Structure 1
Amino acid sequence: MENLLLFFAILLLASILISKISDKFGIPALLVFLGVGMLAGSEGLLGVHFDNQIIAQNVGMLALIFILYAGGLDTNFSSIKPVFSRGLTLATIGVILTAFAVAPMAKILLGFSWLESLLLGAVISSTDAAAVFAILRAKKISLKNNLAPLIEFESGSNDPMAIFLTMNIIQIISISQIPSPVDWLSVLGMQFGIGIALGYLFGLALPSIFNRLRLSNWGMYPVFSMAWILLLYTLCFKIGGNGYLAVYIAGIFINKRDFVHKKNLIGFHDGIAWAMQIVVFLTLGLLVFPSQLPEIALMAFVLSLWLTFIARPVGVFVSLIGSKFNFNEKLFVSWVGLRGVVPIILATYTYVENIPNANIIFNIVFFMVLTSICMQGMSIGYAATKFNVRLDEVQEENAKVENSPILTYALRQYTINLGAKVIGKNLAEVSLPSEFLIILVKRKNEYLKPTGSYIFNEGDLLLVQCENHALYQDTIKALVG
């Protein structure tokens, strides 16, 4: 056990340190994680033999739960609201069209049956939000016309549809029976309906629970959150819903409300998501046998080109018909459809379910993900400039904001008097307007920095800043009355 822990500790540290260097050269971190895993694998420098697809699948499934949850927590609902319908169309119709567009070329090149070809298309149909935005942040690329929230929402929410397609096609191949369109749509509606409903309910409930629970140690809140999201996933799965969609929706609605230790909780889950991604890519890197890749390299490369230049654009352009996005913006959305951890995880399901040509499907998907990360991931900055979707004056605008006065109204003091409604409640629970800022609290002879867990006490002196005088009066009245 000590040797195993030492091995993974070294791999994790090596992956993180190498990714830090790779950022300077524009190499996506996910490519580094895969490379380290392959170097440590049975045909790599360390020669660690690993070919247990069931373990890889279980690791991937657990990781995907927390990766999607963290993606939801990082999603600002107000930013995706203007593009919600278009993003949802891309994440559903776009995924289906991409999968069906890949299938004919897969059948021609590989000689698969139509179902096996469609399975390959379904496995490779989803995009990776973490890969896209890690690159955009590393290169400090800002995008025009709500492109960033569109890509963010689509990438974070299209995994459930890819998972649904993959699992249903695997089931069809296994039982050799094709369901009727009505049955297929009813299953789709039930899975997504239950997933969205439970995700919404659990997402609304957690902030209220945190604001009233008042645990003695803040470290218990992340533990509660992890257990809560595992409960959501399992419950949703047990009653026939899509658990992956549920955890993503829950993350979005949890982020929508204020609650105690919110900032710390989001930071914690962001770290968990990165740890999960590294572990998954290391595991999948160990699972692949590099010597098997050359025999499928040419076919996989042609499929990658077909996916990038034909299948993905078909899904994007059809999904965005009638939208406000122009031709160049649609081209950019097509180009940033990076493939990541989800397709490789889904490819392991073909092994576990004993699907014909499972080994070929896994190796092709692995190669296509590598190609996508290298080809698209390393050219996002160039593509943003080439398609004229990049904001060139962001720094200038930021400077204007930074040089503008922070406070235009005088600060006000307010004392919590006996009988005030807020006494005994915490700051997050009160849900004050965003323009109404409590900057400092004086309690007796002690000065407190108010956070979400700060509880209003009688006699507290609040230092308040509010730009809107009418809003200030209304808020104070609501607090006292």
Structure 2
Amino acid sequence: MIELAGIIILGILAQWFAWRFKIPAILPLILIGLLVGPLATLYTEDGSKLIEPIWNGESGLFPGESLFYFVSLAIGIILFEGGLTLRRGEILHVGPVIVKLITVAVVVTFIGAGMAAHWILGLSWQISLLFSGLIIVTGPTVITPILRNIPLKKDVSTILKWEGILIDPIGALVAVLVFEFISAGGGEAVTSTVLIEFGKIVLFGFTFGFTFAKALALAIKSKVIPHYLLNVVTLAAVLGVFVLADHFAHESGLLAVVIMGIIMGNTNLPNLKDLLYFKESLSVLLISILFILLAANINLENLLLVINWETLILFAVVVFLVRPLGVFLSSYKSSLETNEKLFISWVGPRGIVAAGVASLFGLKLVEQGIPSAELITPLVFIIVLGTVLLNATTARPFAKLVGVFLKESQGILIVGSSSFSRIIAKYLKDNDRHVVIVDNNKSNIDKAKEMGLEAINANIYSDDLIDNVELSDVGYLMALTGNTAVNKKAIENFAKQFGERGTYRVISSEEMEDPENNPDDGLFSQTDDYIKLVNLTRKYPEIHEIALNSHEHFEGLIEITKVEPEIIPLFIKTPEGQLEILPNNAKELDVEPESKLVYLGKSFDKEPSKMVVEDQSIKEEEGDKEIEREKNQDQKEKDSGEDSEEDKETEEENDKDKKES
């Protein structure tokens, strides 16, 4: 009981420590596991571990292979949660690179690391290739915390995130095939069996993952499952898919749950957000337990076998030669620049799948009497711990060194997915700005996604957005909801994370009545509130550009928009094509010649230079006409008064004539 409670408590403390100091949680988790496991034998009175994961007759938590059953199921849940976060729309520009990273780079790592292990450490080819198969994977549980804390170009963070999740089942698959080859003793007949096993894993993994995802999505949409059972039913379905696929083809369960997660994550489900919250919390707990257990399961004597210069050289070859070679071959002739390829090459930490599968296969091969099998688990752990430590401490400075660190985050976060928010976001996206819409109204989010926009269904009163990898390059915040309190709260909550370049909100109707006292963070103009923006969008759902000749010309157009209710200024487009958000004190901006004014509403019919002059003449003409109208009105009233007097006199005379007669 004490051991179980201790693992959970230490795991959560490690997670908090990692959050507090902005490092991957795997680092303190492994260190804790080593301290209560193999290293505990150095300071306990009886030379035993404080936590013994496998039951050995006197102590331990899991009898037999039950530890590895638990590890396999837990990894399945973690990978399913990772699959839920993958969106097809993220990979429009980098899809080919990701595909090559999980194919070409896998082959490079498998062959390169295997050759290095064989020649440097003198391991047999079978053990060397098993080692290389296990370190193919890059852990999403490690990469995600790193990406959260480094503002990068969206394509770079997307590549690393997708690679980390998709490559896990592939690495496990390769390791399983090598393990089966070793266990069966090799030979042509065994090779044929291994190829058949490969086909079975792919077939059952894809079939079960796709089928169960569609069935569960249909059940959720049809409301067959009550809301309070949604999370636990999904959990049961994930475990069921994993076990069923694994029954038909050993180790196909990992592939099945990843496919299931991706399919469900890209299906329009009404309660997907609830699933993500639940699975994320569960994943944090499982990761905390797993890393401590697996690190504690290593024996000190095996760990000491791999602490030498040969292992350090192998580590350097894997990290500084094999990984970059795989990345550069995979990204050849892609849109990635050299500095982006270098950063992707640098960030390749191994994670839970490598550690878990290595522990299982290492133990089984030792039981079979395979030479050097006892080195597999500690060797993989050295790679895991080394890559995590390296990337956690150097990713940020290395990003600055190679120039992929975004000094000025140009992405824009728009709070609110109303009709005019979507039109503005679409214009920004068409002009090469990374823009993300956030709204708690799922219907509005779906409309944004139909327009090809990146949209997140989230509540701005929670902290969910802060840890979102996709927002690492966001530096502007535009709060465009119809609720002033929500707009202010959005700026209050997220200005520090997403508003380093500027935070803005639409003004309220009350603030519009007093233009002189508009807020400093007011957006677009001093005379346009949410209602005017929505109404104008309904009438003129278009955004226009008009060339500017000078700063005076710009000021003149801004004055026109103040008196013209059907035109609202939005941005300034510089000659280089950069967009600058217009605050409500837009006239104070320094506008370059040959810039453009971007505006919403009806199109200007005149040339800009003529419009300013004609606008003034129009005002003068209207003033003259108004004076003329007033004069005519006075004359009419005067004439009307004279006519009434004459009529009165005529009436009196008529009455007098009547009396006389």
Indicate whether the TM-score tops 0.5: yes
User: Which residue type is aligned with residue 364 of structure 1?
Assistant: L
In structure 1, the partner of 2:346 is 335
- Provide closer, same or farther for how the CA distance between residues 467 and 356 of structure 1 changes in structure 2, counting only shifts above 3 A: farther
Separation in 2 of the partners of 1:248 and 1:312? 24
Aligned length: 421
User: Which residue type is aligned with residue 382 of structure 1?
Assistant: P
Matches within 5 A, 1:164-175: 164-175=173-184
Is it true that 1:373 corresponds to 2:388 in the alignment? Answer: yes
In structure 2, the partner of 1:363 is 378
> Quick one: which of 386, 391, 397 aligns to 1:382?
397
Aligned-pair distance for 1:179? 4.4
Aligned-pair distance for 1:201? 3.0
CA deviations 1:96-144 (Å, max 9, x no partner) are 220210112211222211122111111112110120111221x2x2321
> Quick one: which of 169, 178, 200 aligns to 2:210?
200
The answer to whether the 8 Å contact 2:127/2:373 transfers is no
In structure 2, the partner of 1:76 is 87
> Quick one: which of 444, 447, 463 aligns to 1:433?
447
> Quick one: which of 188, 209, 221 aligns to 2:230?
221
> Quick one: which of 17, 20, 38 aligns to 1:21?
17
CA deviations 1:181-217 (Å, max 9, x no partner) are 777555434422442343233323322211213444x
Aligned-pair distance for 1:256? 1.4
- Provide closer, same or farther for how the CA distance between residues 202 and 433 of structure 1 changes in structure 2, counting only shifts above 3 A: farther
The answer to whether the 8 Å contact 2:23/2:145 transfers is no
Aligned-pair distance for 1:291? 5.1
The answer to whether the 8 Å contact 1:384/1:390 transfers is yes
- Provide closer, same or farther for how the CA distance between residues 174 and 17 of structure 1 changes in structure 2, counting only shifts above 3 A: closer
CA deviations 1:239-270 (Å, max 9, x no partner) are 33822112112111211123233211111001
In structure 2, the partner of 1:50 is 52
In structure 2, the partner of 1:275 is 285
Is it true that 1:64 corresponds to 2:75 in the alignment? Answer: yes
> Quick one: which of 228, 241, 244 aligns to 1:235?
244
> Quick one: which of 260, 263, 273 aligns to 1:250?
260
- Provide closer, same or farther for how the CA distance between residues 350 and 17 of structure 1 changes in structure 2, counting only shifts above 3 A: closer
CA deviations 1:451-470 (Å, max 9, x no partner) are xxxxxxxxxxxxxx899759
Aligned-pair distance for 1:19? 3.6
Deviates more, 1:334-343 or 1:91-100: 91-100
Separation in 2 of the partners of 1:338 and 1:28? 10
In structure 2, the partner of 1:419 is none
Separation in 2 of the partners of 1:336 and 1:276? 24
| TM-score for both structures, normalised by structure 2 | 0.58
The answer to whether the 8 Å contact 2:209/2:256 transfers is yes
Q: Match of 2:306, SS?
A: helix
- Provide closer, same or farther for how the CA distance between residues 272 and 173 of structure 1 changes in structure 2, counting only shifts above 3 A: same
Q: Match of 2:89, SS?
A: helix
Is it true that 1:344 corresponds to 2:358 in the alignment? Answer: no
Aligned-pair distance for 1:345? 1.2
Aligned-pair distance for 1:307? 0.6
- Provide closer, same or farther for how the CA distance between residues 405 and 356 of structure 1 changes in structure 2, counting only shifts above 3 A: closer
Separation in 1 of the partners of 2:184 and 2:357? 19
Separation in 1 of the partners of 2:298 and 2:535? 58
The answer to whether the 8 Å contact 2:221/2:269 transfers is yes
Separation in 1 of the partners of 2:319 and 2:536? 49
In structure 2, the partner of 1:393 is 408
- Provide closer, same or farther for how the CA distance between residues 175 and 405 of structure 1 changes in structure 2, counting only shifts above 3 A: closer
CA deviations 1:37-78 (Å, max 9, x no partner) are 222225426732526373432222111100100000122221
Separation in 2 of the partners of 1:37 and 1:117? 26
Over the matched positions of the two proteins, sequence identity in percent amounts to 25
Matches within 5 A, 1:257-296: 257-290=267-300, 292-296=302-306
Aligned-pair distance for 1:22? 3.9
- Provide closer, same or farther for how the CA distance between residues 428 and 385 of structure 1 changes in structure 2, counting only shifts above 3 A: closer
Separation in 2 of the partners of 1:33 and 1:301? 22
Aligned-pair distance for 1:162? 1.2
Matches within 5 A, 1:437-456: none
Separation in 2 of the partners of 1:85 and 1:380? 24
Deviates more, 1:165-174 or 1:229-238: 229-238
User: Which residue type is aligned with residue 246 of structure 2?
Assistant: F
The answer to whether the 8 Å contact 2:53/2:293 transfers is no
Larger Rg: 2
RMSD over equivalenced CA pairs, Å: 3.4
The answer to whether the 8 Å contact 1:96/1:122 transfers is no
Aligned-pair distance for 1:300? 2.3
- Provide closer, same or farther for how the CA distance between residues 231 and 151 of structure 1 changes in structure 2, counting only shifts above 3 A: same
